[in-house]
Structure 1
Amino acid sequence: MPLTELGRFPRVEAQIIVGRLESEGVPAVAFDGEASIGDGSWLLIPVRVMVDAGDMAEARRILDSAA
């Protein structure tokens, strides 16, 4: 299945979310984490957390339960 965007988050938060999802058995990946690192604006660019389309409902449930 294709990857689907779960959401866009600050860089560190995105890595925490990926770790949480993976600890619950939902594979996830963070995209754009290294974007614009050369010019110093990397903290301003949100990181996309991507999951398999079939895992979206479970990923949202896990994310909502952490809030």
Structure 2
Amino acid sequence: MALIELARFYNSFEAGIIQSRLESDGIPSVLFDLEMSLQAMGMAIPIWVMVDEEDEAEARAILAAAWEEGGAA
């Protein structure tokens, strides 16, 4: 299992929504640096949504559909 970056977010809410959508479609994911995002303090540390490389194509399709629906939500 090799993890790849699916997306980066600077908002933990959006990252969580995408993670939930992936999980609801049966794609396990991991959020890296969730607790490190300190945007309110002037530091922009991204939250990384990571998936297994074998799930990349399906995960990207889910992410694209989420953006077409009006954002990460």
Of the two structures, which has the highest relative contact order with CA contacts closer than 8 Å and spacing of 6 or more?
A: 1
More helix per residue: 2
Runs of 5+ in structure 2 lacking a partner? 68-73
Contact between 2:37 and 2:44, CA under 8 Å: does it hold in 1? no
Q: 1:54–1:17: structure 2 CA closer, same or farther, 3 Å change rule? A: same
Deviating beyond 2 angstroms after TM superposition, the runs of 4 or more aligned structure 1 residues are 40-44
Task: Report SS of the residue matched to 1:44.
Answer: coil
State the match for 2:31 in structure 1: 30
TM-score under structure 2 normalisation?
0.77
Instruction: Please report the RMSD computed on the Cα atoms of aligned residues, expressed in angstroms.
Output: 2.0
Runs of 5+ in structure 1 lacking a partner? none
Mapping 1:51-66, distance limit 5 Å: 51-66=51-66
State the match for 1:15 in structure 2: 16
TM-score under structure 1 normalisation?
0.83
